[in-house]
Structure 1
Amino acid sequence: MTGNGESETGVIRCFGQQVRLLRTSRGLTRAELGAKLGYSEDMVTSVELGRRIPKPDFIDRADAVLEAGGLLAVMKEEVGRARYPAFFRDAAKLEAEAVELYVYANQAVPGLLQTEEYARAVFGVLRPPLDDVVVDERVAARLARQEIFHRKPSPLMSFVIDESVLRRPIGGWNVLRGQLEQVLLVSRIRHVEVQVMPLDREENAGMAGPFTLIETDDGRRIAYVEVQNVSRVHSDREPVRALEAKYGTLRAQALTPRESLAYVEKLLGEI
C-alpha cells in the first residue's frame, strides 16, 4: 500500500513544472496557453502550481500545443493515479489489470456501478467535508474506472450488493432511481453478474464489511479491504483464500442474477 500521497503529489508538481517550462520556452502567457488548450487561465495556473490534477484531455492537448513530443503524455498514467485518494491508489492500479473481479458491497453502491450524480452525492456526505475541487477530481476518477466494462478482452465481473444499499436514497430519490437504472443496465452486460442480498436473509456472511477480490492477467489473486478510509491490499494466500470462501458463501446466500434483476426492477417500481 501507498503509505501517503507524497509521491503522487510530487508527480503533480513535476508535471506542472514541465508545463511551465515548455510554455515559457515558447513565449506563451498562461492566458495564451489556456486559449489554445480550451481551458481557462486559472486552470493553467493551478496545473502549473500543482494545485489541480489535469484531466487526460488537458495533458494530450498540452503535449500537442507545446510540441512536447510525448514528454507530457508519457506522464498521463502517473498523473491519473493521483486523482484517487491515497488509500485507494494501489487497488485502482490492480483493478485496471483485473481479468476477474468480485465485489461485495453493504455500505454504498460499488464505485464501478455508480452514476455521476450518485458518486457526487456519496463524496458530498463525507465528513469532514471535501473541497469542491477534490470532489470533482474524485468523481472524474471514479467514472474513469468504469472504462473496465469496455475493455477487451472483457474481465469477468461479479457484484453482490446488500439490499439496504439499494434502498438508501443518498442524494435523494431521483438520484437513487437513476442509480438503480444504472445497476439494471450494467447487470445486462454479458460478462457481468449482479446479485442482491435481501434484508430478510437469516444468514449473511458479509457482516464484517465490504471487500473486493481481484485476479490479474499474470495469475495474482489479491483482496482489497477498506474501512473508514483505512485500506489494505492482501496478497498472501491465506487471507485471500478466506475472503474467496466468504464470497462464495455470499453468492450462495444471495438471490440469483435473474432473481436480482427482477428485484431491482421491483424496487424501481416502489420509488
Structure 2
Amino acid sequence: MAKVSTDIKERWGCVLQRRREACGMTQETLGRALGVKGTAVSNLERGRTTPARDVLASLDKALGTGDELAQLWEDLVKEGKIPWLGQMEELEKKAASILEFHPFLVPSLLQTADYATAVMRAVTPWEPQARTEASVRERIARGERFQSADTPVMMVVIGRAVLTEPIDHGPVMRGQLEYVHALAKRERITLQITEEPLHPGLVGPFTVLDPPPERELVYAESAHKGQFIHDPDAVGEFKLRFHRLQAAAMPPGQSLRLVEETIEGFAP
C-alpha cells in the first residue's frame, strides 16, 4: 500500500471518531464489532495506523454509515486533500468571527435537523439513507456547539429567496425560521436579508473565517465541492463583497420583522 501522509490519516481519523461518538459507541465496543482491541480503533482515530480496505467496509457496516468512511478515505488518498468538513469544524471553533452569505438556503451552521435532512435528500437523493443521517448528525452537532458557545461572532446575510421560495410551507420551514429568529433575537448572530435581486452575492455562497493566529480565509461553495481560499488579495475581495452585501441588505431589525411575518404564513 502506498504511503499516506499523517495529515490525511489524522483528518480521516477525526471523522471516524465523530461517527463513533454519534452512535454512542466506545472504542472498545467498536473494536469488538470489528474483532480487534479498542487500542486498534484508538490508533485509527489518532492517525497512527492506515485502515485496510476490509477494515473500511467493516467500519461503515458497524457504524451504519453506508460507504461514507470508505469513500472519504478513497477521495483523500486520491486527491491528497484535507476533508473540508474536518477542517471547517476546526476553523469554526477557533474563529473570532464568521461572515457568511447564502443566496437560497439557511447556512448549514444554523440549520435544524428537519431542514438539513430535507435539503440533503433533495440535493443528493441517490445517497444511502444512513449516510444522509450521519451527515445530518454531524451538521447538527456543529450547530449545537456554536449555539452553546460565546464565540465566534457570526454575521449572516441570506437571499430573500430563502423566505419567498421556501423548501416547504409547513412545520419544517416554520421551525427553521423560528430557530434562526431566536438566535438573532438573543444576538447570537446578526441576520440580514437581501432586498434587491442584483447584488454582489450573485457569485454564490461563501464564508469568511478569522481563526487567530492564522490568517483569514474563505470557504466558497460550488456545485462540485467546496474550496478553501487563502490568498490575501482574494480573501480581501470576498470581505469587501460581504460588506457591500450588508450595506445593500435590509437592516437587522427590519430583517427580523420580515422573518416574523414570514413565520406567520407557515403552518405549525
> TM over 0.5, yes or no?
yes
SS in 2 for 1:102: strand
Tell me the CA shift for residue 113 of structure 1.
1.2
Q: How big is the alpha-carbon RMSD for the aligned residues of Structure 1 and Structure 2?
A: 3.4
> 1:175 aligned to 2:172?
yes
Higher Cα Rg, which structure? 1
Return 5+ residue gaps in structure 1 as ranges.
Answer: 1-5, 27-45, 56-81
* 1:50 matched residue in structure 2: 59
Counterpart residue number, 2:201 = 206
1:28-43 paired onto structure 2 within 5 Å: none
After superposition, the Cα gap between the structure-2 partners of 1:52 and 1:257, relative to the gap in structure 1 and judged at 3 Å, is: farther
Total equivalences in the alignment: 217
What TM-score comes out, normalization by structure 1 length?
A: 0.70
Q: Which amino acid aligns with 1:95?
A: E
Q: CA offset at residue 25 of structure 1?
A: 6.3
Contact 1:105/1:211, CA 8 A, preserved across alignment: yes
Letter in 1 for 2:127: L
- Residue 115 (str. 1) matches residue 132 (str. 2): no
Quick one: distance in 2 between partners of 1:125 and 1:191? 29
| Structure 1 residue 237, shift from structure 2 partner | 0.4
Does residue 159 (structure 1) correspond to residue 156 (structure 2)? The answer is yes
1:42-99 deviations in Å (ceiling 9; x for gaps): xxxx9992115859xxxxxxxxxxxxxxxxxxxxxxxxxx9xx944332232122211
Equivalent position SS for 1:109: coil
The reply to whether residue 19 of structure 1 matches residue 31 of structure 2 is yes
How much has 1:202 moved relative to structure 2? 5.6
Equivalent position SS for 1:243: helix
What SS does the corresponding residue of 1:227 show, helix, strand or coil? coil
Q: Secondary structure of the residue that 1:230 maps to in structure 2?
A: coil
Secondary structure of the residue aligned to 1:218 is coil
Cα pair 1:98 1:216 within 8 Å, conserved: yes
Structure 1: 4+ residue segments shifted above 6 A:
15-18, 21-26
Percent identity, aligned pairs only? 26
State the shift of 1:258 in Å.
0.6
Structure 2 segments unaligned to the other structure (5+ residues): 1-7, 18-26, 39-54, 65-75, 77-81
* Matching residue of 1:96: 93
Query: Could you say which residue in structure 2 is the equivalent of 1:37?
Result: none
Per-residue Cα deviation, 1:154-177 (whole angstroms, up to 9, x for no partner):
221100010101233325522111
